[in-house]
Amino acid sequence: MTTNMVGIEIKDLHLSFGETEVLTGVNLTIEPGEFFSFLGPSGSGKSTLLRAVAGFGPTPKGQILIGGRDIVDLPPWKRNVGMVFQSYALWPHMSVRDNVAFGLKERKMPVSEIGPRVEAALDLVGLLSMAGRMPNQLSGGQQQRIALARTIVVEPQVLLLDEPLSNLDASLRVQMRRELLALQRKLGLTTIFVTHDQEEANTTSDRMAVLDGGVIQQVGSPQVLYDTPANLFVANFLGTANIIDGVVEKDGAAARFVTKTGDAIAVGDTTVNSGSIVLRPQNISIVAKDSANSISGTVMHREFLGSQIRYLVDAAGTEIVIDQSHVSGETWQDIGAEVSLNINSSAAVVLAS
Amino acid sequence: MTHSPRGSAPGLSIADRLPKYLFPRIGGTAAIALLIAILLVGLLIVPVLQVIYVAFLDPNTGALTLNNFKDFFGSSLFRESFGNSFYVSAVSVVMATIIAMPLAYITTRFNFGGSVIIQSLGFIPLIMPPFVGAVAMQLIFGRNGSVNLILRDKFGISIPFMEGLNGVILVQSIHYFPFILINLSTSLRNIDRSMEEAAQNLGSTGMRMFRRIVFPLAMPGYIAGAVLVFIKVFDDLGTPLLLNVNNMLAPQAFLRISSIGISDPMGYVISFILVAFSIFSLWVSFLFMRGKDYSTVQKGGGGLSKRDLSTREKWIAYGTVSLILLMVLSPHIGLLLLSFGTIWSYAPLPDDYTLQNFVVMWENSGTYISNTVLYAGLAATADVILGTAIAYIVLRTKLFGRQALDYMATASLAVPGVVLGIGYLRLFHGVQVPFSGEPMASWWVIIALALMVRRLPYALRACMAALQQVSISLEEAAESLGASKQSTIRRIVVPLMSGGILAGFVTSFATAAVELSATIMLVSSDSDAPLAYGIYLFMQTPSGRGAGAALGIVAVILVGVGTYASQRIIERDKKMRMSGDAH
Amino acid sequence: MKNYLGGSLAVCALAASSMAAFSAEPVVVITSFPSSMTGPIEAAFEEANPGIDLEILNKKTSAGVKYIQELAGANTADIFWASAPDAFEVLKGDGLLADAGGISSTGIPDKIGSFPMNDPDGKYLGFAAAGYGIMWNTRYLKANGLEPVSEWSDLKNPEYFGHVGMSAPSRSGTTHLTVETMLQGEGWDKGWAEWKWIAGNFATVTERSFGVPDGVNTGNFGLGIVIDFFGFSSKASGFPVDFAYPSVTALVPANIGLVKDGPNAAEASTFIEYLLTPEGQEVLLDPAIMRLPINPATYASAPEGFPNPFKDSSIGSAVNFDVSKSGARYNLVNSLFDVMITYRLDDLREAVRAVQVAEAKYPDGSNPEAAALIAEARALIEANPIDEAQSLNEDFAGIFTKKRKKVTDTVGERQAEVEQRWDTMVVENYRRAKELAEQAANL
């Protein structure tokens, strides 16, 4: 099962359901062999974009190139992209074997070849022994694997996964996502993975695109997106963020972000004059009063999260979330305690409003 | 939640000391189930047994015998009749499928303007009494009907649409295809779009995908519809008789039971065989469908997929749909022409047009219409009440023998109307209506009861389907908030089932309104006659044809408008429910 | 629809039905006549006798008989009103008719044609006359280049193949009368032969007697064997049809009788009397009814061209109809007709067509070999399973009625067995006849 790895290019794609535009000006390049995620809340257009690649739903305007070939006008059955559905979509009237063999039969492959290929695919997902079962006799995880086997057996150029893990329970989900990734690496198959779960996207993706309102907000590796969000949506959607409005004051090369309450935070070089500063909770620490680059405030609330303690601090009317690593035996700040907050300014990101 | 007060019993009564099984505790639900069972046994099983019992009697000695069955199978005429009945039923199923399949597929799987109208129009053939349809079909497709007159004039050919068994097949498949349309459409709507998309994604398309994926998944609905068509055609008497086809089982039974002075047991033997064979067909279809309820396996998908059609496809689709509708509505077109026509004889169209037929009809048929609304309304109301109760008992309780209720109610599908009518006459013979002292057999309520029993299976299916869609957790939620079983049913279950109940009511009402087979047996005076009987009476005279047709048109419009309205309500209801999970 | 069928099913009907007599105790009339006929008569009567209310209960003749039989004991019906004298004979035989001899019938002759107007025992009275004849659709005949026919024997001609319609005698009392008339007029064997040759030209055998005029009216087939008033009323309704009496026909009275122990005997008698008065007779000339009045004076107001059997003695006088003979083999004749014609119409048609084709090839009998084959084929088609003596044998005919009077009564054979025997013979004969005729045609 080897594939000539192909890339995917999406150029200025627009898509509407009737009057409502659900995808606006999507431009995207996915490298050959890449594991790429579409991440976004429901209604963001991520599934719609995936289905457009597969050829389902209304025909979009713009281009979708797979291996350099524009497929926008091709019907789904001529695209040679493999899709795994959220519901698995195993046909209940066919056995596991028939489900997996379906695509090969459609391709008019000789029967003598179909058998071995089906078995190889089932073996790959570890379910060869289930070949004779009917889908309703399988567990959710098994159905998921069969759906995957059914898709890859036809050796598609691209693998599309539409929330494939959402119907599984939590522990199985972790295991399956590792298997998925291992399989993708083994096959070298360019893969798009749609999810609303940032943990799934972070753990699997080479790169990912965050979507909101039918627009791509940012593309990059999980780390880049987390550390340097391009806008408030991305900052908020990936992990927890403190967002404080204010203005940038420049003093030669040095720049300070001054909040509305007058606290100043040193920041790196920026072109922004006014906007928001994004501070990750773990990049703020509680320190002795009046140290440099610090803000003072009062502890309002405290949560023990196991590896961390989360404090909610009121700094002159602005609520700031702070995560401190939990070390055994350490004493915690009391509710109502006056504290100073030290900000790791190299990790601060300033965004224009 | 039946409350059985316990505990605070001060001192045991004698009853308490006796073994418990002497006093089975009958909860409210069980009591209702028992009541329904008694009703079904009394109004369906006993009357039918009354009739088919004769098949086992020696006409000479009155002793029990199987000789009559020996004679049946010994007679080449009866064997041929059996073969013809089977052939006509099977081919009618095929024809009905050819008619219903494109309509169902196009309206459920594509974004297609007028789907609701097509679905409603597709229902209309069911609400025309088949004998009226046969009259109109003769005028259009008969030997010297419009089509053949034109063909002969233009091309010198004629097509034997209506000759012999062909005519029966044509009329029956046009009349009964809605059973397949309705069931198949429901099944198709329940197929999750990912089922098809997965197939397309793997390279399948068009007819091939339909054959391998869509149709097998819709099979349960299709089989349910097809077996109904098969049974109805097998049992139907009116159409073959009106087309003067005698060599089929039902007409043979009728001819033998109804000739002057003949007490030949063969008619009863045939009745028995009709009932037995129909039950057998139902049973086979149940066996086939067992374990094939696919809808439950398809979870969490993207809902129904409706594809846009390209311009070319649109033309083909509209062409196909129009052609089919033209054909299935041809009886109505014929009837319309007849109702406005003066004389229509050996000509493609009536000689002239007039409103006189409607005037005559209007002056004479007020009672027919009000009787019909009364009988069919009562029957359909009772049907949905019974249907809801049975559906609840079967699906939501663990009562012993609950399936028997379902089977019994469904079995009435297998009972030809004539057999039920005769059974009622026998059963109620000599019984008097309380208070008025009228003989029971000629009391109009009996007509409504017969209609109720005949149409119960339709309402029951609709109620069952509706209840299956109501998640049990919604009931549990209500109960956990302190609602009793009773008020949960009243305030949660029934409102959620309302779409299905309405559908059941409409199907029962519409088909009961045009039923003639059982009612004609039971109507004892013109003032008690329903509409279909009125049309029949009109059409027995040369001058009454037009007026009869006018009455037929009124019937079709009345029931058609009702059907369309309820279809709209059901659609709206569905949309309301779906809006919750759109994403 | 399963029908109208039902109507007759009342057969079984054990019907206790009856009319709900609530207030004014209406006179209950069981009738086979359509409401287009009973309606005007009822209206005229109720106008003349405002105190009496009629309740008309429409049943097919056979169903009506059954109905009254089942009601005996707790009778609620007053009058039985229908065409076929046989039906009245059945009721009379069961003792279910009251004496109607006392009802005045001034000016009504004793006979119509050769048929006695009233039951000699006074159990039922004629009120109108009707005769069977041939009705045709003029447009149809013109389009198919056919001539109207006025004699039964003309219907045998090959050019009418597939153009003729008729009802089955088992379905319609009046049709039975026609069949029996031919059997009595031409003799048993010749009569059946005539019927089979005519039936070979049938387009269909209709289930209801009204199916025949209906078929002719719409042009479904061109000629029909119908009772006269269907022809007259169809014509009066505007259809392009016409009607003629053949010379061999029975002009028979349509009858009315009092049901025994009817609850309103006096009012019922008033209705029958009214029906026989000149005013009552006049209503029969209503365009929707068009039955022959039996009061000769009424013909004075008949439309032009309306036949008057009291003047034109050629109508219906050729046969002396023997009611007792007809009654003795009533069911047997019906069954024989069904077995030989109704149920085996396709086989019969094919055989007859083959003979017609062969005869057309050798119209002059010039080929003796062909002539012999054709003669043999004709004999096979004409062959009857039983002869007249057997048809009148009480025991044999009893198989077809099976009215057990006593537990000890036994019948030798079951009807189904007899019919199967006939059927085997008939099917084989028709098959063989077709084969022979085709052989002759291929010579």
**pLDDT > 90 in chain C, percent:** 32
Give the neighbours of chain A: at least 3 Cβ pairs within 8 Å.
B
User: What type of residue is A160?
Assistant: L
Which of chain A's residues have a Cβ under 8 Å away from the Cβ of B216? 91, 93-94
Q: Mind telling me how many Å the CA of B216 is from chain C's nearest CA?
A: 34
Q: Mind telling me how many Å the CA of B404 is from chain C's nearest CA?
A: 29
A76 touches chain B (CB under 8 A): yes
pLDDT-derived band at C264, boundaries 50, 70, 90: confident
Q: Quick one: B80-127+176-300+311-347 is in which CATH superfamily?
A: MetI-like (1.10.3720.10)
What Rg value do the Cα atoms of chain B yield, rounded? 26
Q: Mind telling me how many Å the CA of B482 is from chain C's nearest CA?
A: 51
| Nearest Cα residue to C9 out of C64, C81, C86 | C64
Q: Would you call A26 helix, strand, or coil by DSSP?
A: strand
Alpha-carbon torsion, ordered B454, B456, B461, B467, to 10 deg: 180
Contact B200 A85 (CB under 8 A): no
B45 touches chain A (CB under 8 A): no
pLDDT for position A224: 93
The residue with tokens 């006008």 is: A73
Q: Would you call A16 helix, strand, or coil by DSSP?
A: strand
Contact A70, A23 (CB under 8 A): no
The interaxial angle of helices B494-513 and B444-469, nearest 10 deg, is: 140
Q: Average pLDDT for residues C172-183, to the nearest whole number?
A: 83
Asked whether at least 3 C-beta pairs link C and A within 8 Å, the reply is: no
pLDDT for position C412: 58
pLDDT-derived band at C299, boundaries 50, 70, 90: confident
Q: What spatial distance separates the first Cα and last Cα of chain C, rounded to whole Å?
A: 50
User: How far is it, in rounded angstroms, from Cα C276 to Cα C125?
Assistant: 10
pLDDT for position C383: 92
Alpha-carbon torsion, ordered B342, B344, B345, B346, to 10 deg: 140
User: What type of residue is C217?
Assistant: N
Half-sphere exposure of A263 (CA within 13 A, CB side): 23
| Nearest Cα residue to B524 out of B435, B450, B454 | B450
B237 touches chain C (CB under 8 A): yes
Contact C371, B231 (CB under 8 A): no
Does 3.30.930.10 match the CATH number of domain A240-352?
A: no
Contact B571, B139 (CB under 8 A): no
| Nearest Cα residue to B555 out of B402, B272, B365, B424 | B365
Measured between CA atoms, the residue of chain A closest to residue B192 is: A89
Give the neighbours of chain C: at least 3 Cβ pairs within 8 Å.
B
C300 touches chain B (CB under 8 A): no
SS3 sequence of A301-323: EEEECCCEEEEEEEECCEEEEEE
B515 touches chain A (CB under 8 A): no
CATH architecture of A8-235: 3-Layer(aba) Sandwich (3.40)
Which of chain A's residues have a Cβ under 8 Å away from the Cβ of B204? 77, 102-103, 106
CATH architecture of C132-249+324-441: 3-Layer(aba) Sandwich (3.40)
**pLDDT above 80 for C201:** yes
Domain boundaries, chain C: 5-130+251-301, 132-249+324-441
Q: Is the dihedral of CA A18, A23, A25, A27 positive or negative?
A: negative
What tokens appear for A169 in the block?
A: 């329970």
pLDDT digits (tens, 9 = 90+) for C73-92: 677 889 999 887 778 888 88
Domain boundaries, chain A: 8-235, 240-352
Contact A39, A210 (CB under 8 A): yes
C42-101 residues touching B, CB cutoff 8 A: 55-58, 60-63, 65-66, 70, 74, 76, 86-87, 90
User: How far is it, in rounded angstroms, from Cα B122 to Cα B117?
Assistant: 8
Asked whether at least 3 C-beta pairs link C and B within 8 Å, the reply is: yes
Q: Mind telling me how many Å the CA of A191 is from chain B's nearest CA?
A: 15
Domain boundaries, chain B: 80-127+176-300+311-347
C442 touches chain B (CB under 8 A): no
CATH architecture of C5-130+251-301: 3-Layer(aba) Sandwich (3.40)
B65 touches chain C (CB under 8 A): no
The residue with tokens 């032009």 is: C304
User: How far is it, in rounded angstroms, from Cα A196 to Cα A286?
Assistant: 33
Which of chain A's residues have a Cβ under 8 Å away from the Cβ of B298? 87, 89, 92
**A22, A86, A106, A150: best to mutate for the B interface, most B CBs within 10 A:** A106
Asked whether at least 3 C-beta pairs link A and B within 8 Å, the reply is: yes
User: How far is it, in rounded angstroms, from Cα A181 to Cα A187?
Assistant: 10
| Nearest Cα residue to C180 out of C94, C92, C252, C90 | C252
pLDDT digits (tens, 9 = 90+) for C238-247: 899 999 888 7
The residue with tokens 């023990």 is: A304
Q: Is the dihedral of CA C405, C407, C409, C411 positive or negative?
A: positive
Name the residue among B72, B144, B259 with its Cβ closest to that of C219: B144
Q: Mind telling me how many Å the CA of A104 is from chain B's nearest CA?
A: 8
Contact C423 B75 (CB under 8 A): yes
Instruction: Quote the distance between the C-alpha of residue B304 and its chain's center.
Output: 27
pLDDT for position A292: 62
User: How far is it, in rounded angstroms, from Cα A168 to Cα A180?
Assistant: 14
**pLDDT above 50 for C437:** yes
Alpha-carbon torsion, ordered C84, C89, C90, C95, to 10 deg: 140
pLDDT for position B6: 42
Contact B200 A102 (CB under 8 A): no
Q: What is the ipTM of this complex?
A: 0.81
- Which is more confidently placed, C244 or C408? C244
pLDDT for position A321: 93
Q: Can you state the percent helix, strand and coil of chain A, rounding each to 5?
A: 30, 35, 35
The residue with tokens 């139902």 is: B282
Contact B50, B427 (CB under 8 A): yes
Q: Would you call B352 helix, strand, or coil by DSSP?
A: coil
Q: B-C interface: how many C-beta pairs under 8 angstroms?
A: 292
Contact B195 A81 (CB under 8 A): no
**B191, B202, B289: best to mutate for the A interface, most A CBs within 10 A:** B202
* Mean per-residue pLDDT pooled into runs of 10, chain B (583 residues): 42 54 62 91 90 80 81 86 94 95 86 79 80 86 90 88 90 90 84 85 86 88 89 85 84 70 70 89 85 55 63 87 90 92 89 89 84 91 94 87 89 84 75 64 83 91 83 78 80 82 85 77 74 82 86 84 75 61 37
Contact B258 C5 (CB under 8 A): yes
Contact B258 C173 (CB under 8 A): no
**B191, B196, B201: best to mutate for the A interface, most A CBs within 10 A:** B201
User: How far is it, in rounded angstroms, from Cα C167 to Cα C173?
Assistant: 10
- Strand C202-206 to strand C251-258: parallel, antiparallel, or no bridges (unpaired)? unpaired
Cα–Cα distance list, C88 to B260, C62, C98 (Å): 12, 11, 11
Contact B260, C94 (CB under 8 A): no
What are the E-state strand segments in C138-229?
A: 164-167, 202-206, 223-227
B299 touches chain A (CB under 8 A): yes
Find all residues with CB under 8 Å of B33, minimum gap 6, and list them: B393, B397, B399, B402, B405
pLDDT digits (tens, 9 = 90+) for C1-19: 333 333 333 333 333 333 3
Which of chain B's residues have a Cβ under 8 Å away from the Cβ of C141? none
β-strand partners of A251: A254
What tokens appear for B156 in the block?
A: 């010198």
β-strand partners of C269: none
User: How far is it, in rounded angstroms, from Cα C175 to Cα C334?
Assistant: 10
What tokens appear for C443 in the block?
A: 């010579």
pLDDT for position B578: 53
User: What type of residue is C8?
Assistant: S
Q: Listing from the earlier edge strand, what are the strands of the sheet with A318-325? A: A284-287, A338-343, A294-304, A308-315, A318-325
User: How far is it, in rounded angstroms, from Cα A132 to Cα C345?
Assistant: 57
C322-361 residues touching B, CB cutoff 8 A: 330-331, 334, 338-339, 342-343, 346
Query: b/e for B531-566, b at 16 or more Cβ within 10 A?
Result: bbbbbbbbbbbbbbbbbbbbbbbbbbebbbebbbeb
What tokens appear for B360 in the block?
A: 């005559």
**pLDDT above 50 for C426:** yes
What tokens appear for B148 in the block?
A: 């053949």
B541 touches chain C (CB under 8 A): yes
**pLDDT > 70 in chain C, percent:** 89
Name the residue among C56, C140, C415 with its Cβ closest to that of B264: C415
Measured between CA atoms, the residue of chain C closest to residue B546 is: C237
User: How far is it, in rounded angstroms, from Cα B141 to Cα B334?
Assistant: 10
User: How far is it, in rounded angstroms, from Cα A33 to Cα A4?
Assistant: 9
- Which is more confidently placed, C104 or B368? B368
Half-sphere exposure of C68 (CA within 13 A, CB side): 38
Q: Which residues of chain A have pLDDT under 70?
A: 1-3, 288-293
Which of chain C's residues have a Cβ under 8 Å away from the Cβ of B260? 61-62, 65-66, 86-87, 90, 170, 173, 330-331, 334
